[in-house]
Structure 1
Amino acid sequence: MKKTLIKFGVLLLLAVFAVGCSKGNASSEKEEAEVDDVIDVVWYPNESGEDLKSSRDEIGRVIADATGKKVEHHLTTDYAIAIETLVNNNADVAFMGAQGYIEANKSNDAIQPIVVPTGPSGTLDDAVYHSWLAVNVDDQENYKKDGEYSLDTIADKKFSFVSNSSTSGFKVPSASILAHFTEQEEYKDLTEEDLMEGGPLFSQVLFGNSHQGSAVNLLDGNADVAAFCDTCVENYVEVAEGEENKEGSVYKVKDDAAQPFNKVAGKEFTLMSVTPVLNAPFAANMDTLGEEDFKKLQEALSADEVANNEGIFVPEDSGESALFFKTDKERFAPAEDKWFDPIRELQ
């Protein structure tokens, strides 16, 4: 009788364990199913501001309509977090700079480009934006030699980059700075790593963590020179003197500029250097998104309907804040991994 009770007890425990495992597996399968019905989109700090919510939401609507799935937006305050979120299979799609894409693809070859915003021609031939080196307008003469702007003048200054994963806010300007200074005996051994900290070239190095943050570092006096790009600050500034994206042109922060520029409204800066940079892609994690949804997104985003959607490609003269503006034939176009090789060659 005792042995029978013991056997019954063991069987009961096994039954309970089996039921528990069955429930656990069912729960896991449910969670996986829920994850499969959601497309997670992660955004860099530059595109995470409240003023760009309407652009993010409209792009999310296109993604949802194309796939029949729910879209969840993940906003970040750090480039590395956005990149790692995609690389580590915690997001399906990201809008990221060329350098960030290259880093992500190097870490996980499942990361592939979906589309890239074109230039005014509607092709990738002129799909570029611009990396700026800027100085405060009152100090601009201090950055000239023989009447011309010179990189020699930035030595021993307080310098602000965006992030070491930023294309136009670090990779491109650092390549130009290294190419210039390593020709000089004093700086012949200068490396990219040296540019990330005070000395041997700069007296102090700051990182804005976004293009907006780097620009504000300059305008509030924490930095003497700052690297940031045109497209990430165009919602907050306007040309006060000269032409867009021309060396020597002066930009002024709009009086009604949104955060973080509201605290430096009216301040001006001058461009001492302007360098074209390949446009940023929407990239996918093929392991989490899947080939079917990848093709749906590429087709939907490249369609004329999106190109003509004024909620995505906002008319330049609208006065509204947006991620993308329409000046002529701008649209999204598919791009292959090799299109980013010119940025890879800066490594």
Structure 2
Amino acid sequence: MRVFLGLLVLVMALAGCAQAPAATTTGGNAPAAAPTAPAAATGPLVMAWYPNESGADLKDARDAFGTLISDTLGRPVEHRTTTDYIIAIESVANNNAHLAWFGAEGYVQANERNSSVIPLVIPSGSNGSVESAVYYSWLAVPRGEEDQYRDGDGFSIENIQGKRFSFVSNSSTSGFRVPSSNIVTYFGEKPEWQNLETEDLLEGGPNNFFADVQFGGSHQGSAVNLITDRVDVAAFCDSCVDNYVSLVEGTENQVGAVYRVNDDADEPFNQFPGAEFVLIAAVPVLNAPFVANSSMLTAEEIQKLQAVLTSDEVANNDKIFATQAVIDAGFRPFFRKTDAERFLVVPDSFFDPIRAMR
């Protein structure tokens, strides 16, 4: 578990450093540095979405963001839903989309392809700060199979070698980059795996690290791979399955926690009510940024978006940060309001820990 604790220290250390640039802005709402952009346009603004956020159950959540952006910039918004991470990333990097919501790995990949892709805002942690702006990368196993991963009073990833394994996408932060980096670091200390590399985790077989490797295409898809016994262990994140599962034993986002699929879960979980899984690893990950293509938006437009998104009005908008009452009424959100959640501006360097894993 020292790998996981090390990552947490790194996340918190960087978060503390990231506050300084934000604090020098007026109200924390000034735009990130951006290349010179063209004059403001009035045509449709395209927003790309990962497969995780492209489902029909999240249409109202997408529309809530579309309305907010449209009202701010006076331009209609077109939602570009996708079935593949790369499609979403390339649409922004290739100047075919103005905005997107990516994981840190997706942002880093898009920024490498096109330096005009910049972070717009990230959601804060529950206390409204950048220090707590993390979600969790899980490794989960079916309930009833967890004993083979026990290590004393806790759990270990020691026995995942040789198992059937599911990632999300090799462009996913919490569904690939973080878990693969931790696996390589952990097993690389063992003589028989000292030359293990991330690429060795992409395919399964008799001579490979895993017996079989599958990619779910989304966090929901990776979780379904586990629930349907296609794999023994799966990587996916807490926030992407939050609308479909509930904690039934243990502590949220802690090793040993047991989650169960809700009886009224939407697709693709609607066929598996009551299915349960156990966490054998839970690692904090830097919160996912909304990103902007600064060659397609003016500096003024970016500044307007950041000012509105970081406002108290948006922090209290129950279709952006949904209250429990709104959720109970049937709304499926991207973000939940548990305390003081809001959006924050961070610099590009905030995502350097993800770059360091690559």
TM-score using structure 2 length: 0.86
2:146 is aligned to 140
Answer whether contact 1:144 1:153 (CA < 8 A) is retained.
no
Give per-residue Cα distances to partners, 1:53-73, cap 9 Å, x unaligned. 111101111100110001000
Answer whether contact 2:154 2:256 (CA < 8 A) is retained.
no
Rounded Cα–Cα distance in structure 2 between residues aligned with 1:33 and 1:221:
53
Deviates more, 1:317-326 or 1:61-70: 317-326
1:335 is aligned to 346
Q: Gapped runs of 5+ residues in structure 1? A: 1-31
1:173 is aligned to 179
1:7 is aligned to none
1:190 is aligned to 196
1:263 is aligned to 271
User: What's the secondary structure of 1:194's corresponding residue?
Assistant: helix
Rounded Cα–Cα distance in structure 1 between residues aligned with 2:321 and 2:154:
37
1:275 is aligned to 283
Counterpart residue identity of residue 303, structure 2 = K
| Per-residue deviation, 1:242 | 1.1
| Per-residue deviation, 1:145 | 3.6
Answer whether contact 2:101 2:290 (CA < 8 A) is retained.
yes
Alignment partner of 1:67 out of 63, 66, 73: 73
Rounded Cα–Cα distance in structure 2 between residues aligned with 1:39 and 1:78:
21
> Which structure's residues are more often helix, by fraction?
1
Identical pairs, percent: 51
The structure-2 alpha-carbon separation of the partners of 1:181 and 1:118, relative to structure 1 and needing over 3 Å to count, comes to same
1:10 is aligned to none
User: What's the secondary structure of 1:243's corresponding residue?
Assistant: coil
Alignment partner of 2:259 out of 251, 264, 267: 251
Counterpart residue identity of residue 76, structure 2 = K
Rounded Cα–Cα distance in structure 2 between residues aligned with 1:245 and 1:147:
17
User: What's the secondary structure of 1:169's corresponding residue?
Assistant: helix
Alignment partner of 1:288 out of 280, 296, 299: 296
Answer whether contact 1:39 1:289 (CA < 8 A) is retained.
no
Alignment partner of 2:167 out of 157, 161, 167: 161
Q: Map 1:1-347; keep pairs closer than 5 Å.
A: 36-199=42-205, 200-316=208-324, 318-319=327-328, 320-347=331-358
User: What's the secondary structure of 1:175's corresponding residue?
Assistant: helix
Give per-residue Cα distances to partners, 1:286-329, cap 9 Å, x unaligned. 11122221111111111111111001100145334210000000
The structure-2 alpha-carbon separation of the partners of 1:258 and 1:288, relative to structure 1 and needing over 3 Å to count, comes to same
Counterpart residue identity of residue 127, structure 1 = A
Answer whether contact 1:312 1:324 (CA < 8 A) is retained.
yes
Counterpart residue identity of residue 65, structure 1 = D
Rounded Cα–Cα distance in structure 1 between residues aligned with 2:342 and 2:45:
22
| Per-residue deviation, 1:36 | 4.8
Rounded Cα–Cα distance in structure 1 between residues aligned with 2:196 and 2:39:
51
Rounded Cα–Cα distance in structure 1 between residues aligned with 2:148 and 2:213:
19
Answer whether contact 1:92 1:289 (CA < 8 A) is retained.
yes
Counterpart residue identity of residue 142, structure 2 = N
Rounded Cα–Cα distance in structure 2 between residues aligned with 1:154 and 1:147:
18
| Per-residue deviation, 1:35 | 7.4
Give per-residue Cα distances to partners, 1:212-268, cap 9 Å, x unaligned. 000000000001000000000000000111121111010000011000001221100
Aligned residues: 316
**Structure with higher RCO (Cα < 8 A, 6+ apart):** 2
Deviates more, 1:311-320 or 1:210-219: 311-320
Q: How large is the Cα RMSD of the aligned pairs?
A: 1.6
Where has structure 1 moved over 6 Å in runs of 4 or more? 32-35
